[in-house]
Structure 1
Amino acid sequence: MRPIRSAIPALLASAILATSLTGCQFGAPEEASGEIVIGADLELSGAAPQVGKAYQRALELKVEQLNESGALGGRRVRLEVRDNKFDASISATNIGDFTSDPAISGIIMGSCNECAIGAAKTVKSKQVPTIALAPATDVAAPGPDREYMFKLGPNARDNVAAIAAELRARKVKTVAVLHTADKYGEEGAATLTNELVGVEEDPTDIPILAKRSVKVTDTDVSQAVGALVAEEPEAIIVWTPADQANLAIGSLGKERYRGHVFFDAVAAGDLFIGNSGTAAEDTTMVFTQTMVIDDVIATTPAKAASKQWFRDYTARFGGYYGYSSFAADAVQLIVDAAVRAGGDGEAPDRPRIRSLLETAETDGLSGPIRMTPENHSGLMPQALSLLVARGGRWRLAG
């Protein structure tokens, strides 16, 4: 469905306000000068370069938009990007350098769970607010141990809840799980078990017939997929990053699997599914509406802003990558807090920035974001939707 044309100008005008400095309800910005410097520790090479490069593109685009908007008064945002090569030791060096730079207002980290978890002590001791885009719950919890660490992106428990509800709605009786052998993959497998199979026998239980794990660096998942298909489950849940999810689609096609296929949100990559399009048809993924915002009517300023972001990103880079909105929202959150905290590029008030992040409330590009002292992982469950693969691309289900 398409938005009513006459409503677009007013909605877009409101959208600018929705994602500006008042969007996080921090109050009106104070006039100041100087730079807001953000360090970015990303996986630009190594195990997941496609995700890191998508984050870099999104960060640079968002910074450019903020600087050109005039919303910051006399201030400008500057981004410093470093490649951690998906190596926690290299990431630690990058974080050490960023936290030693007094001009840095905040840090954004990429998809590496071990990198973000390993950085928690350093950013706390150096008092540098950090937003990680890595998915594992331990990145931002428990709160007291993650005082300066925040997380932005779908949470395993919310993804599982959405998948489980749909499995039960379809009356699926048995499942099998393919997951990565890392922090987030193991968390997903455990959470699925807790949700689908209770401690006591329950008529709504959905037995997990088999689980198979793959390394995050594996470029062939066919053996693991074949083992799951051999168990003849009614549904297979794939809990892997986008590249391996695409490999799984191909392997499931070769196995002629005809059951239900579900993907966790980490599988979100390109909007268009590519070579595996035919095999992917009718598969289901949990993710935010940003991935398919062109299917959504812009009835609110936040949705109008998301549609505009989708258009801007697609126009600039020739396609859309699902996780780009989280990177853009992370920039907005840090900039909003830095402006409200006062100071300048030479001496940002980091404890104040951290305090403002901890109570941030905004309808971001990714959906509703609410941070609290008890919960540093701000994406709300309401941000998630079910998407379905149709005609070689992801669409909003229903």
Structure 2
Amino acid sequence: MTPFRSATALAAASAMLATTLTGCQFGGQEQDTSPIVIAADLELSGAAAGVGKAYRQALELKVQQLNDSGALNGRTVELLLKDNRSDASESLRNIADFGNDKRVSAIIMGGCNECAIGAARTINEKQIPTVALASAGAVANPVADRRYVFKLAPNAADNASALTVELVRRRVTSVGLLRTDDAYGREGVQALRGEFRKAGIQLTAEASLRTTDTEVDRQAGTLAAAEPEALVIWTPPEQAMLAAGAVKQAGFTGPLYFDASAAGDLFLGASGRAAERATLVFTQTMVIDDVIATTPAKAARRQWFQDYTARFGGYHGSSSFAADAVQLIVDAELRAGGPPATVDREGLRDVLETSQMDGLSGPIRMTPDNHSGLMPQALTTLVARNGRWRLAS
């Protein structure tokens, strides 16, 4: 063998050995260092931009935390963001684009109920796992038609039950209701009527508004004129704060009760006076600084609260849902396995469907029969006191 040919053979053998040792350490599988790509369709402009901004901040913070943790077995998380402009048609186009992108493992959708419901068929056709942060039951039901859709937000039935327990405790017998005229609002009034019937509470007045409305004076006047003992406000945060001021201006002096969808910023700002002493059903993480961290899960929630507040100068209640969505997807991706540098959407979906964790929002349990993971135990009662939400005593 000539010296040149001998050197060439040695180099080839060395390269082959190096490749073998790097990709398959002593018989192990080649390590997957490909990124976990998560797409997000959010309301970054339009009527729901306030909550959409909180979701974006939470997603970016959680992704950074995971990438800095060194716990992803050499992988990183990448986030692709699109603005749906609070419009279901724009959202559907975004979902179709994400579904066609073979790099994307899963999608996170924002709080727009109509967006998530309207995209369900496309999500199933594209066979791309999707975690929606919208509240309506139709987002994840019926499960047979929502195989790839999962939901992380408080459920209407759980909210209605918790609100009714509080109303009974306060011995309220008549209630007025302001709700949105959308899938979640209609679901809410049905759930409340059912709970009220069992508790002997009369729904004396009801008014609705579109999710895009910025004037609520007419509805507030109608509800105040009916003179209920208490008023339930079942709207997004911005409208809830507007309504709190409008009903007080209209002469209503009774207590206010907010459904979980009304949760927004921890500090109430200019709306603080109108909402003072109002009751909110929401997750404990919103006021985790009032809670002694006696478990690892509570300690994690407090750390999330502190990290989010330090980064963004305040806390938004819904941020934990977005962070939990990222964690669910990343955990499922790592558990699903599959060949390196490939996206196994079906395997990821199968793992998501049986996922369980004590999340930042509270206990989360997915099953093949229930794709809405937030457990009722996650909800607690908060009260507005001195311009911010506090844990009710």
Q: TM-score, normalised by structure 1?
A: 0.90
- Cα shift at 1:31: 5.1
Q: Please state if 1:214 is matched with 2:209.
A: yes
CA distance in structure 1 between the partners assigned to 2:249 and 2:312 by the alignment: 32
Q: Deviations over 1:293-315 (max 9, x none)?
A: 00011001010000000000000
Q: Who is 1:27 aligned against?
A: none
Q: Who is 1:61 aligned against?
A: 61
CA-based RMSD: 1.2
What percent identity do the matched residue pairs reach? 62
- Cα shift at 1:275: 0.7
1:333 to 290, 305, 328: 328
CA pair 107-344 structure 1, distance change in 2 beyond 3 A: farther
CA distance in structure 1 between the partners assigned to 2:222 and 2:123 by the alignment: 43
- Give runs of ≥4 in structure 1 deviating > 6 Å: none
Q: Who is 1:109 aligned against?
A: 109
2:224 to 212, 229, 232: 229
- Cα shift at 1:197: 2.3
The DSSP-based 3-state class of the residue aligned with 1:245 is helix
Q: Who is 1:281 aligned against?
A: 276
Q: Who is 1:125 aligned against?
A: 125
The DSSP-based 3-state class of the residue aligned with 2:282 is strand
Q: Who is 1:45 aligned against?
A: 45
CA distance in structure 1 between the partners assigned to 2:126 and 2:339 by the alignment: 18
* 8 A Cα contact 1:33 1:344, kept in partner: no
What letter is aligned with 1:313? Y
Alignment of 1:286-301 (within 5 A): 286-301=281-296
CA pair 224-137 structure 1, distance change in 2 beyond 3 A: same
Q: Deviations over 1:319-344 (max 9, x none)?
A: 00000000000000000001111247
CA distance in structure 1 between the partners assigned to 2:206 and 2:341 by the alignment: 52
Q: TM-score, normalised by structure 2?
A: 0.91
* 8 A Cα contact 2:31 2:340, kept in partner: no
Aligned residues: 364
* 8 A Cα contact 2:42 2:110, kept in partner: yes
Q: Who is 1:143 aligned against?
A: 143
Alignment of 1:169-248 (within 5 A): 169-197=169-197, 204-248=199-243
CA pair 306-374 structure 1, distance change in 2 beyond 3 A: same
The DSSP-based 3-state class of the residue aligned with 1:65 is helix
1:363 to 358, 361, 368: 358
- Cα shift at 1:87: 1.1
Q: Who is 1:25 aligned against?
A: none
CA distance in structure 2 between the partners assigned to 1:393 and 1:135 by the alignment: 24
Q: Who is 1:255 aligned against?
A: 250
With 118-127 and 307-316 compared, the bigger mean Cα shift is at 118-127
CA distance in structure 1 between the partners assigned to 2:280 and 2:339 by the alignment: 43
What letter is aligned with 1:309? W
The DSSP-based 3-state class of the residue aligned with 2:253 is coil
* 8 A Cα contact 1:103 1:345, kept in partner: no
Alignment of 1:86-105 (within 5 A): 86-105=86-105
* 8 A Cα contact 2:224 2:251, kept in partner: no
With 138-147 and 337-346 compared, the bigger mean Cα shift is at 337-346
* 8 A Cα contact 1:181 1:214, kept in partner: yes
Q: Who is 2:310 aligned against?
A: 315
Q: Who is 2:10 aligned against?
A: none
The DSSP-based 3-state class of the residue aligned with 1:177 is strand
Q: Who is 1:379 aligned against?
A: 374
Q: Deviations over 1:361-393 (max 9, x none)?
A: 100000000000110000000000000000000
Q: Deviations over 1:71-90 (max 9, x none)?
A: 00210000000000111111
* 8 A Cα contact 1:342 1:348, kept in partner: no
Q: Who is 1:354 aligned against?
A: 349
CA distance in structure 1 between the partners assigned to 2:340 and 2:87 by the alignment: 29
* 8 A Cα contact 1:38 1:77, kept in partner: yes
What letter is aligned with 1:60? E
* 8 A Cα contact 2:32 2:341, kept in partner: no
Q: Who is 2:74 aligned against?
A: 74
* 8 A Cα contact 2:112 2:134, kept in partner: yes
* 8 A Cα contact 1:42 1:56, kept in partner: yes
The DSSP-based 3-state class of the residue aligned with 1:34 is coil
CA distance in structure 2 between the partners assigned to 1:160 and 1:192 by the alignment: 5
Q: Deviations over 1:245-267 (max 9, x none)?
A: 01011112213422121000000
CA distance in structure 1 between the partners assigned to 2:89 and 2:248 by the alignment: 38
CA distance in structure 1 between the partners assigned to 2:61 and 2:44 by the alignment: 17
- Any stretches of 5+ residues in structure 2 without a counterpart? 1-29
* 8 A Cα contact 2:176 2:205, kept in partner: yes
The DSSP-based 3-state class of the residue aligned with 1:372 is coil
The DSSP-based 3-state class of the residue aligned with 2:115 is helix
* 8 A Cα contact 1:34 1:344, kept in partner: no
- Any stretches of 5+ residues in structure 1 without a counterpart? 1-29, 199-203
* 8 A Cα contact 1:35 1:345, kept in partner: no
CA distance in structure 2 between the partners assigned to 1:346 and 1:185 by the alignment: 43
* 8 A Cα contact 2:32 2:340, kept in partner: no
CA pair 248-344 structure 1, distance change in 2 beyond 3 A: farther
What letter is aligned with 1:294? D
